[in-house]
Amino acid sequence: MSTPPSGVTPTGLDAVLAHLDRLRTLNAQSGNNLAVKRRLLDLYFAADASILDAGCRVEPLLIPTRGRQVIAAERVRPDDVDLASGRRLLYLHGGSWMAGSPASHRPLTARLARACRAEVIAVDYRLAPEAPFPAGLEDCLDAWQWLCDSYPQGSLLLAGDSAGGNLTLACLNVLKQEQRRMPDAAMAFSPATDLNWESDSLHRKARVEAILDPDLLPLISQFYLGPTPAAKTDDPRVSPLEGDLTGLPPTLIQCGEAEILLDDSRRYAEQAQQSGSPVTLSLWDDMPHVFVGFAPLLAPANRALEEIAEFADTHLGT
């Protein structure tokens, strides 16, 4: 990856950090009002009008799940990309397992669709605390099975950011254990991989972290798992780092070096590589949480999308 000269602030970074600082301040002022916190997170990528103008077509759809239920999703297609390749990407949004939606992450999913030359299906999985673990993970796995059944001959990708990155890597653990079809490639952006919260960067990077509060992470785990947890934090479905990381598909992990989840990415990638899995770790100087979603305003985000495009072409064929 290319980086600006030492001491030069990357184009767009000041605006992104100012936006995240405002969101963090408003989030603190919202107290325990979960509805307000969710609305604030819906604006996570709204640092500039250029980010929100993603240029895509969106089609609502319903995905069948276990128990004869359905979940909402949306199909995202860029206006200017030929999708004849047959690639499809299932996207799992972030939001601390308690917030976020396909709509909040549309600026990112549209640009991933363009970079990967793929149709993106973004899943509106159930959220905690109303629906604690394993509800959200089950929805993601059901959506993946629907995608496999619907397009058995196509090239299929799985990706997510933050909590959605956690769900992405947790899905890989479950799919491998149950000997189900794995993605042809996977991507995780700033994923949470250890819900015991034992990464050194939680404290080492706290001073430069733009949005996440390390002191609140254990509480988020409690909300996610619920009052009567169906699993412990060392369960591989909860903390992907605890899984058997052999036999994984090609996986790209992108993470900023100015975020407290840095070592979650680093530890997972190192363990996967030591287990013989083709996991690539891409770290970016000075970048905040899920920085790739701030394209085209943020210059490194644009380069991260180029890296994603190269990754997809390498592992799915041109």
For the annotated catalytic residues, the residue numbers are: 162, 259, 289
Q: For residues 279 and 253, is the Cβ–Cβ distance under 8 A?
A: yes
Q: How many of the other CB atoms lie within 10 Å of CB of 29?
A: 10
258 to 118, 149, 210, 249: CA distances (angstroms)? 30, 40, 8, 27
Cis preceding-peptide flag for 214 (omega within 30 of 0)? no
Give the helix ranges, DSSP H, for the chain: 13-29, 34-41, 49-52, 106-116, 135-150, 163-177, 201-204, 217-225, 262-274, 299-316
Chain centre distance of CA 109: 10
CA distance 193 to 197: 9
**Residue 216: count of CB within 10 angstroms of its CB:** 12
Kindly state the helix (H) or strand (E) to which residue 73 belongs, with its residue range.
strand 69-78
Give the amino acid at 55: G
Place of tokens 């790739």: 292
- CA 29 to each of CA 16, 22, 157, 222, 281: distance values in angstroms, whole numbers, following the listed order: 20, 11, 38, 21, 35
